A and B are shown apart, each in its own frame.
Chain A
Amino acid sequence: MIILDVDPGIDDSLAIVLALKSKLDVIALTVSSGNIEVNQGSINAIKACEMAKKDIPVYKGATKPLFKEYVDSQDTHGSDGLSGMYYKVKKEAMDGAIDFILETIKANPYQVTIVAMGPLTNVALAIQKDLETMKQLKELVIMGGAAKIHGNCSPVAEYNFWVDPDAAKQVFEANLPNVTVAGLDVTYDILFSPNMREMVRQFGGELAEYVHNITQFYVDFHWAQERTLGCIINDPLLVAYMIDRSVLEAFDCHIDVETSGICIGESVVAFDIPEAYLPLYPYNAKMCMKVDKTKFFDIFFETIFPEHIEDYRLMKKRGYIL
C-alpha cells in the first residue's frame, strides 16, 4: 500500500501518472504546500489522476512549512505549478491528510509505504501527532537533499529540504525504520531531453499532450537558469525505484538537516560512520548515490505509454534518446 505525498509540481505530476499507470498499489495522494501552495497543488494532483484514468482520494495537508516562511517555486514550475496550464478538474480534494496517513497506518501496520516527493511537512506533522504509529510504516521513501553535489536553492541546499528544513530534521530525528532518500546526487542525471519531449508529442493522444505541455515551462526555466537543454525530473525516479529497486543503489548513512544560517536546508550526510560514533550518530536512512538512468527511462516510458513501447525502443536503438 502506497501513499504518495506530493506538491505537484511538474515532476510530481509525472511521478503520479507513472505510479498510477504502474502496478503499484497506490491508495491515496496527500498534498502539502511546496512547489505550489496546497490548494492549487491538490487540483494538479487530481488532474494527474484523471490523466492516468484512476480515481483515488486526494487529501490536503500542510499549507505552509513548520516555522520557516513559505517560498513556492512558481519560477520553476509556472504560476499554477504546471507551466500555467490552469487545468480544470472534476472533483475536489478532501481535508485531513495527516489523520488519513495515521489512520491508514493504524489499520494496516507495517504495510504502508509513504513516497514523499515534496517538503516533509506532512510527514513531520504526522510524526508530531503520533510517532508510535509512524514507526509502523513499512517504508518511507524521500526525494530531497544532496550529499556530495551542488544544491539547487543554495550551493548546499535542495528545494524540498530547504523549503521546510525543520520538518526534514524532525523526520530524520524520528529514526523511522526503512527510510530511503534520493536527492540531487542521483536525480541530476535524469534529464528529460527535448528529443524525449518531441517523441512524446509524436506519440499523440491526450496523455502525451499533457506530458508535453506541462514540461514546457520547466524546459524554459532550465535553459534560462543554467543553460541545460531539457529538464530534470526528480520525482518520477522514486516511483521507478518502487517499481524496480535496481534503479537506485542506496548506502547506509546518518542524515541531519541544517535549520539556520548560511547552510539552511542542507542535508548533512555521513557515510561509513566509525563504530565509536554510532551511538551518537546512528544510521537513520539510506542515501541513494548510484542510478541506472537507462533503466529509469525504460520504466518511465514503457509504463506511461505502454502502447508505444515499440516506438520507444526504436528511438532508443537509433540513438535519438539516451
Chain B
Amino acid sequence: MRKIIFDTDPGIDDAYAIITAMKHPDIKVLGICTVAGNKGIEFTTTNAQKLIKLMNYDCQVYKGAKDSLLKVADDAGATHGIDGLGGVPLVYDKSSLSSISAVDYILNTVKENPNEIEIIAIGPVTNIALAIRKDKETMKKIKAIYTMGGGVYRGNITPVAEFNYWYDAQATKEMFELGVDVPIHMIGLDITHKSIVTNNDLEFMKMTGGELGQLLYDMILPYVEAYWKFSKYTGCVIHDLLCMIYAIDQTVCPKEAIYHSHLEVSTTGITIGQTVVDIVDSWKQPKNVYVPLKVDENKYKELFFKIVFGEEVAEMYRKYVLS
C-alpha cells in the first residue's frame, strides 16, 4: 500500500483528486492537511471533512496554514462556488478534525514512516515550507512530492504564474529547495490545460456513474461555466486530478517528455510565483524537479473512470466516448 498525505485546499478539483485516491485499492490516505487557497482555511478544512464523510473513509483532517508566507490574496473567488465545492450539499462529522496541526502531523508521520510517505500537494504549499523550516532533516525522508502548480510556458492568475504557487511564492521556493533531496514532480499548467475534461466526458459520467457520478457532475458545474466564460473551453481543466492520476501512474505522461531539471521560483516583481524551469540545462544547476510536458489525455481520463467507477464504465468510456 502506498502511504499518502494530502496537502490541499478543497476546492472542486481537489475533491476529484481526493476521491480518486480514496477509491484506489493500493493507496492508503493517511491524513488530509488543509491550507488556505481556493477558499479560506475554515472552508477548506470543512470541505476536507465533508469528503471524508462522503466517502466514509477512515482518516482525519489536520488544519494547516491560514495565511501564506507572502500574502497576496484572500482566495480564488467564485470559481469553485460559494462554499468551494460547487454548492453541493454535504455533511461532515466534527470528530474528523484532529487537534494536531498540519505541520506537526506531516513531520510526525514522516518520522514514523521514513522514506515511505508520499505527499500530494494540490494547494498552495505553505504547510510544506513551514514543515521544512521546522525540521528539514525529517522532510528529506519524504519518499516523493507530487505538486500541482506552476507552468513552464504559461500561467493562469498572471500570464506567467499559476494560482497555487503565486498564492505563496516564498513557500514554493522553499519547497523546491528540498527537491535536490526528495523527488518533486511538478504537474503544471502546460499539461493540465492539455487534458480538458469535456462536457461529453462529464455527461458520460453523469449517465454511468451512479450517485457519485451525479454528485461529481453537480459539483463541477460552476467550473464548466467559468471555463467557458474565461477560456472558451467546452469542458474544464481539473488540475489536481491530473496530479493525482500522474502520482498513481506516471505513464500518463510519456517518459521522454518528463524533464529532470533545475527550477527557480520568482518571488518578486511582476513575475512573482512564476516557475523558471531550465529545460535545456543551460544553467548547469542541481536538478530539483521532474516536469512532464506532455500528457496522454485519453489515458488520463480513462484511468480516472476506471479507478472511480470501475472497469466496466472505463470500457464504455473507451467504446462510446473515445472512439
Give the CA-CA distance A102 to B271 in the complex, in Å: 33
Task: Determine, out of B95-103, B244-252, B277-285, the stretch whose residues face the partner at the interface.
Answer: B277-285
Task: Determine, out of A34-42, A210-218, A263-271, A312-320, the stretch whose residues face the partner at the interface.
Answer: A263-271
Q: Out of A154, A268, A274, which one reaches B158, CB within 8 Å?
A: A268
Give the CA-CA distance A200 to B277 in the complex, in Å: 38
> Closest CB-CB distance, B48 to chain A, in whole Å?
31
Q: Out of A259, A263, A274, which one reaches B276, CB within 8 Å?
A: A263
Give the CA-CA distance A107 to B274 in the complex, in Å: 45
Identify the closest chain B residue to A225 (Cβ).
Answer: B282
User: B154 to A260, Cβ gap below 8 A?
Assistant: no
Identify the closest chain B residue to A257 (Cβ).
Answer: B270
> Closest CB-CB distance, B260 to chain A, in whole Å?
15
Q: Is A137 an interface residue (CB 8 A)?
A: no
Residues of B within 8 A of A259 (CB): 269
Give the CA-CA distance A14 to B267 in the complex, in Å: 40
Interface residues on A, range: 20 to 34
User: B153 to A260, Cβ gap below 8 A?
Assistant: no
Query: Chain A 31-73, CB within 8 Å of chain B: the 1/0 string?
Result: 0000000000000000000000000000000000000000000
Report if A270-B267 is in contact (Cβ < 8 Å); known contacts: A149-B153, A154-B276, A156-B274. Answer: no
Which residues in chain A, 241-280, are within 8 Å of chain B measured between CB atoms? Answer: 256, 258-263, 266, 268-271, 274
Report if A261-B266 is in contact (Cβ < 8 Å); known contacts: A148-B154, A268-B159. Answer: yes
Give the CA-CA distance A150 to B271 in the complex, in Å: 15
Report if A262-B276 is in contact (Cβ < 8 Å); known contacts: A270-B159, A274-B230. Answer: yes
User: A155 to B277, Cβ gap below 8 A?
Assistant: yes
Q: Out of A149, A263, A271, which one reaches B271, CB within 8 Å?
A: A263
Residues of B within 8 A of A262 (CB): 264-266, 271, 276
Give the CA-CA distance A266 to B159 in the complex, in Å: 11
User: B279 to A155, Cβ gap below 8 A?
Assistant: yes
Q: Out of A150, A260, A261, A269, which one reaches B280, CB within 8 Å?
A: A150
Give the CA-CA distance A271 to B232 in the complex, in Å: 14
User: B158 to A260, Cβ gap below 8 A?
Assistant: no
Which residues in chain A, 105-132, are within 8 Å of chain B measured between CB atoms? Answer: none
Give the CA-CA distance A222 to B270 in the complex, in Å: 31
User: B267 to A261, Cβ gap below 8 A?
Assistant: yes
Residues of B within 8 A of A149 (CB): 153
Residues of B within 8 A of A269 (CB): 159
Q: Is B160 an interface residue (CB 8 A)?
A: yes
Residues of B within 8 A of A260 (CB): 268-269
Residues of A within 8 A of B154 (CB): 148
Give the CA-CA distance A21 to B282 in the complex, in Å: 37
> Closest CB-CB distance, B297 to chain A, in whole Å?
19
Q: List 18 A-B contacts (CB under 8 A).
A: A148-B154, A155-B280, A155-B282, A155-B283, A258-B270, A259-B269, A261-B269, A262-B271, A263-B266, A263-B269, A263-B271, A266-B160, A266-B274, A268-B159, A268-B270, A269-B159, A270-B159, A271-B159
Return the 4 tightest CB-CB contacts between A and B, nearest first: A263-B271, A270-B159, A261-B268, A263-B266
Which B residues are closer than 8 A to A by beta carbons?
Answer: 152-154, 158-160, 230, 264-271, 274, 276-280, 282-283
